[in-house]
Amino acid sequence: MTQYGFHFNGQRCTGCKACVMACKDKNDLSEDINFRNVHEYGGGTWTQDEAGCWVSDAFAYPVSIACNHCAKPICMANCPQGAISKDDETGQVWSDPEKCIGCGTCMNSCPYGAPKVDMEQMKSVKCDMCADQVKEGNLPICVAACPRRALDFGEIEELRATYGDVAEIAPLPAASETEPCLVITMPRNGKPVGDTTGAALNEREIL
Amino acid sequence: MTNSEKSALSRRTFVKGSALAGLGAAALGTTSLFGCAPSGKSEDLAETGEEIQPVEEKICWGHCSVNCETRCALRFHVVDDEVKWVETDNTGNDEYGAHQLRACQRGRSIRRWINHPDRLKAPMKRVGTRGEGKFEEISWDEAIDTIASEYQRILDTYGPEAVYCHYATGVNAGNIGGFLSRLVNMNGGSLRRYGSYSSAQISQALPWLYGGRAANGNSDVANSKLVVLWGDNSCETKQSGGGPTYHYMEGLEKSGAKVIVIDPRYSDTAAAHADQWIPIRPGTDAALVDACAYVMITEDLVNHDFLEKYCIGFDDSTMPEDKKGKGLSYSDYITGKGEDKTPKTPEWASAITLIPADVITQLARDIATTKPCAIYQGKGPQRRGNGEQTARAICMMAVLTGNVGINGGNTGSDLDSFYMPASYGVPSDDNPVEVSIATFTWTDAIDHGEQMTATKDGVRGADKLNVPIKMIWNYAGNCLTNQHGDINHAHEILADDTKCEFIVLWDTFLTDSAKYADILLPDLMPVEQPNIVQSEYSGNVAYAIAGDAITSPKFERRTLYSVLSDVADKLGQKEAFTEGRDEMGWLQYIYEAGAADDPDQPSFEQLMEQHIYMVTCPDGEHVAFKDFRDDPEANPLDTPSGKIEIYSQALMDAVADWELPEGDFIHALPVYCPEVEGYDDPLTEKYPLQLTGFHYKGRTHSSYGCIEVLKKANPQELWINPLDAQERNIADGDTVRVTNDRGIVEIVAKVTPRIIPGTVAMGQGAWHDADMNGDKVDRGGCINTLTSHRPSPYAKANPQHTNLVEVAKA
């Protein structure tokens, strides 16, 4: 089986959200649903020296994440309807709308927040790797959108050969949880999974 | 057929079962990967039971036309005369140098603007009081009759000096907005303006230093060893995949240069690029420069050869003869031998900037000893009450170290670029009116124009204004209120329709400014008409993007050109105005006229086939003042001495008889001066926090400001440091009130370590949302509810980043 995945280059991403909006436009998503999100992780403290000047170790960096079409998809394991499966040819994790009842178990299980429940259709919805685009030989729309060329897509083994095998970074979960098909190039100030010096800084923007 | 007849025929909605349904199916995952129908063919939806005909999809090229200072290509997927979805440039192999002109999140959301249900649909006239926002639909005939007769009445009564074409940048397309000045200049012209809301202080200040405002194209950081981004937040402001953020990335990956970001905020640029972030108290950048200069001078790190050969005023050896020996030189001022006898030590600056002295010393050494070093300022530091001094001062870092005119260096000015050999614009007669005002002072020119003088208000071309502004033409701009300083003040002036008697305004939405129109006209988007745009800041690769109308006009919307053609007809000037051309005829004419400056440009037919025309800088990189650096005798600067004038006698002479209000400073040297309503203003007792604006990534100024998906992704929030929030019992996500004597903004607090304590920040451009007949509390989060209309000292420009406020839980 060929398994496809994404590469995120944290040294290039500025958190501009072109990926988010390109996806939203192409998939005609409602205001309240994103298939891709950009997390802002940051922290640091401020202290005043004797002269009253500020000294700070503040930091922040963005992480752009969609469905990672995991090797061990917990959404699939937890779906009470057996609606979620992995495509044999591509590794795409997808939900069969004929079986899906929109219960939201997948949404609540996924540590990346990838599946959503479309409340109008009462179905699970999420990133499908832009199947239609890829079939035509194009890149997924988010990858082709990135103004800083910070995203890549391809066979996960090739991505790992090119970019390494890091698949976790704060504030994402440990890669061992679901084995995401994701390769991360760490941002210059990136923090490891489990870091306690920072926090997610933009929760209101995550849909 | 007239345009309005055409538009009446073209009103249509989505045909049921058109390709949108296919998108829904794809998103639901009804098709296994790589097994779905070809793009552009609709999927059969079993549930509906209806037979659905495949729909033809066409791809049309256009661009995003807003004023972010970059330009991006868009590819519109159009079905049934409606935009279905939008791609960006995906042509070629995307190699740097022949790269794709990829759009940012704003351009990628343009469909929601184009198809927005709240778009203006028909011409309207005001029926309530000005600013109330009450309008009644009228016919195009009535609109054009009213415009022509009011225009003629105002010309007859007050003359062309009472007519004003307002600063407006919502549409950047070479072939569209220029028709307004073409018509107005055929009718005696209008009151001129100088400066902008973007860059007035720097553009008015730098000519005294350099004879002009110029910088290296920023792709030249590929040749730098150190890059200092001094309030430059290009990664957030100019996100284009063919613009500065992309060029910075490619250049820095190539050079591996160290990057220092100086900014009150840990901006997205800092997050992406900074090896070191130096948080600074807003408005004190020039004090940081002074102290760095002190270190460089006292540690003998300045470039003496450069200062001697290319500059005047560094020390007495290059001062004007009659100024020597008086402690007036830059070196004397910095080292404490000048008028104030104060050495500008790092300790002196640390108390002003809140940057530790050892950080200042190290910054000075880094800048002086790492060669070449590129200093780029953004436009944030200059958009202040002391912005002219700040803009010149930052350039001193480049001057003292001799980084001007070389690859990998820069002048210290803001972004610049290689530009196309030809520029495509609507031909127009010269404006016969010679008098001009500073752009920011137009409310004064309405309120008491006849009292405005050259020495008090910066009126140019005459000693004073003869008449106030009585009519405003406003095409695609939101500077009547939303983007101007002190909205509540502007409201008072505009609401009185005996002052400015007639306002005609085009837009796509009922913006806050549009509420003040007397005649409000529904514009077409630039991509809904033939269009061409040229790159602005794009490193060493300039380009043009051209396209035809992506759809036919909907509702009663018309092009600016067709409306003005009808106005010209009423004025008996139709032939002279149109020269018999339609929109596409003009586009072709304008483009082909460019062949005089660019003989290699493709034919018009070819352009409309390829849509993008790129030109690469023949010198590799654009380097400002390179000729001067290579041969200063043969290529002098446009200053009185032909050299870099660190000490500017010319500036002092120009303002010798000016009446400056208390607290305003114009200095012969590019050094720190305090500002009214700065950090040390006594007003801090009442309003202890500084409030600065910034350019927010979810909008370009106010453009895209009403697009819901962008608002969700980029919520309008007040950045506040945890220490300041704690002191006020404010938690992240709380609604707070930001207050000063000019107004109140209600907004959600983003409590974040990404901003220096003592300063709060609000992205500029959010849509003002207040009951102007009631409490006037702005719940839209528009910073200009709180900004001042008091102009800066020399440029008489907008100090929109200089504000004092208090913040409390709502």
Are residues B240 and B178 part of one domain? no
Decide if B188 is inside a domain: yes
Could you tell me the residue range of the domain that residue A156 belongs to?
4-32+70-199
Q: Name the residue type at position A53.
A: C
The structure tokens listed for B197 are 């809301």
Rg (CA), chain A: 18
Identify the closest residue of chain A to B90 by CA–CA distance. A144
Under DSSP, the state recorded for B593 is H
Are residues B561 and B634 part of one domain? no
Residue A1 — very low, low, confident or very high, per pLDDT cuts 50/70/90? confident
Decide if B664 is inside a domain: no
* Total structural domains within chain B: 4
Please answer yes or no on whether A51 and B104 come within 8 Å at the CB atom.
no
Closest partner residue to A46 among B241, B355, B757, by Cβ? B757
> Residue B758 maps to which CATH number?
2.40.40.20
Q: What does pLDDT average to over chain B?
A: 94
Q: Name the residue type at position A33.
A: I
Asked which of B602, B635, B654 is the last residue of a domain, the reply is B654
Could you tell me the residue range of the domain that residue B67 belongs to?
3-114
d(CA B302, CA B310): 13
Decide if A159 is inside a domain: yes
Under DSSP, the state recorded for B471 is E
Asked which of B50, B85, B114 is the last residue of a domain, the reply is B114
Answer yes or no: is pLDDT of A163 > 90: yes
pLDDT tens for B683-715 read: 999 999 999 999 999 999 999 999 999 999 999
pTM listed for this prediction: 0.94
Residue B655 touches partner A, C-beta closer than 8 Å: no
Backbone φ and ψ for B226, nearest 5 degrees, come out as -140, 135
Residue B29 touches partner A, C-beta closer than 8 Å: yes
User: Best mutation site among A9, A11, A12, A25 for testing chain B: the one with the most B CBs within 10 Å?
Assistant: A25
What residues in B contact A135, CB-CB < 8 Å? Answer: 33-36
Are residues B604 and B516 part of one domain? yes
Task: Indicate the angle between helix axes B346-353 and B357-369, nearest 10 degrees.
Answer: 110
pLDDT tens for B621-635 read: 999 999 999 999 999
Identify the closest residue of chain A to B732 by CA–CA distance. A201
Sheet order of strands, A37-43 included: A59-65, A37-43, A198-200
Residue A46 touches partner B, C-beta closer than 8 Å: yes
pLDDT tens for B32-76 read: 344 333 333 334 434 444 556 667 899 999 999 999 999 999 999
Residue B7 — very low, low, confident or very high, per pLDDT cuts 50/70/90? very low
Are residues B395 and B490 part of one domain? no
Decide if A104 is inside a domain: yes
**CA A86 to each of CA A68, A160, B651: distance values in angstroms, whole numbers, following the listed order:** 12, 20, 72
Tracing tokens 């005023």 back to the chain, one arrives at: B313
Closest partner residue to B23 among A27, A45, A123, by Cβ? A27
> Residue A108 maps to which CATH number?
3.30.70.20
pLDDT computed for residue B51 by the predictor: 58
The structure tokens listed for B705 are 């400001």
Q: What does pLDDT average to over chain A?
A: 97
Answer yes or no: is pLDDT of A110 > 90: yes
pLDDT tens for B733-757 read: 999 999 999 999 999 999 999 999 9
Are residues B191 and B293 part of one domain? no
Contact B797, B201 (CB under 8 A): yes
Closest partner residue to B108 among A15, A21, A132, by Cβ? A21
Asked which of B96, B114, B132 is the last residue of a domain, the reply is B114
pLDDT tens for B142-195 read: 999 999 999 999 999 999 999 999 999 999 998 999 999 999 999 999 999 999
Strands A54-56 and A93-95: unpaired
Closest partner residue to A128 among B29, B104, B733, by Cβ? B29
Residue B722 touches partner A, C-beta closer than 8 Å: yes
Are residues B244 and B317 part of one domain? yes
The structure tokens listed for B763 are 């992205």
> CA of A177 to nearest chain B CA: how many angstroms apart?
24
Rg (CA), chain B: 27
Decide if B392 is inside a domain: yes
Positive/negative CA dihedral, A48, A51, A53, A58: negative
What residues in B contact A12, CB-CB < 8 Å? Answer: 249, 272
Please answer yes or no on whether A18 and B105 come within 8 Å at the CB atom.
yes
Residue B408 touches partner A, C-beta closer than 8 Å: no
Strands B311-312 and B373-377: unpaired
d(CA A64, CA A185): 12
Strands B541-547 and B612-616: antiparallel
Please answer yes or no on whether A51 and B266 come within 8 Å at the CB atom.
no
Count other Cβ atoms within 10 Å, centred on residue A33. 16
Decide if A118 is inside a domain: yes
Decide if A77 is inside a domain: yes
Closest partner residue to B85 among A14, A25, A90, by Cβ? A25
Segment A133-160 mean pLDDT = 96
Contact B671, B797 (CB under 8 A): no
For chain A, the residue count is: 207
Closest partner residue to A46 among B105, B236, B753, by Cβ? B753
Are residues B585 and B546 part of one domain? yes
Are residues B280 and B357 part of one domain? yes
Residue A96 touches partner B, C-beta closer than 8 Å: yes
Please answer yes or no on whether B713 and A13 come within 8 Å at the CB atom.
no
Tracing tokens 């350039």 back to the chain, one arrives at: B395
Residue A172 touches partner B, C-beta closer than 8 Å: no
Decide if A87 is inside a domain: yes
**Which of B247, B255, B213 lies closest to B624 in space, CA to CA?**
B213
Q: Name the residue type at position A82.
A: G
Decide if B666 is inside a domain: no
What residues in B contact A185, CB-CB < 8 Å? Answer: none
Contact B77, B59 (CB under 8 A): yes
Residue A206 touches partner B, C-beta closer than 8 Å: no
Residues of chain A above pLDDT 70, percent: 100
pLDDT computed for residue B52 by the predictor: 61
Please answer yes or no on whether A132 and B39 come within 8 Å at the CB atom.
yes
pLDDT tens for A179-188 read: 999 999 999 9
Are residues B689 and B644 part of one domain? no
* Total structural domains within chain A: 1
Decide if B673 is inside a domain: no
Please answer yes or no on whether A135 and B35 come within 8 Å at the CB atom.
yes
Tracing tokens 């450069």 back to the chain, one arrives at: B306
Decide if B670 is inside a domain: no
> Residue B507 maps to which CATH number?
3.40.50.740
User: Best mutation site among B20, B23, B30, B33 for testing chain A: the one with the most A CBs within 10 Å?
Assistant: B33
Are residues B343 and B229 part of one domain? yes
Answer yes or no: is pLDDT of B17 > 50: no
Identify the closest residue of chain B to A199 by CA–CA distance. B752
Please answer yes or no on whether A128 and B104 come within 8 Å at the CB atom.
no
**Which of B556, B566, B557 lies closest to B527 in space, CA to CA?**
B557
Answer yes or no: is pLDDT of B28 > 80: no
Are residues B355 and B229 part of one domain? yes
Are residues B304 and B183 part of one domain? no
Decide if A57 is inside a domain: no
Decide if A204 is inside a domain: no
Segment A49-68 mean pLDDT = 98
Residue A62 touches partner B, C-beta closer than 8 Å: yes
Decide if B677 is inside a domain: no
Strands B258-262 and B276-278: parallel
What torsion, rounded to 10 degrees, do the Cα atoms A176, A180, A183, A189 define?
-60
Q: Name the residue type at position B758.
A: G
**Which of B169, B217, B171 lies closest to B65 in space, CA to CA?**
B171
Decide if A151 is inside a domain: yes
What residues in B contact A141, CB-CB < 8 Å? Answer: 87
pLDDT tens for B192-218 read: 999 999 999 999 999 999 999 999 999
DSSP, collapsed to helix, strand or coil, labels residue B691 as strand
The structure tokens listed for B581 are 């051309």
Q: Which 174-203 residues of chain A touch chain B by CB within 8 A?
A: 187-189, 201
Q: What is the ipTM of this complex?
A: 0.97
Segment A192-197 mean pLDDT = 96
pLDDT computed for residue B161 by the predictor: 98
Closest partner residue to B109 among A25, A134, A189, by Cβ? A25
Our CA angle for B64, B67, B73, nearest 5°, is 20
What residues in A contact B37, CB-CB < 8 Å? Answer: 132
Identify the closest residue of chain B to A149 by CA–CA distance. B241
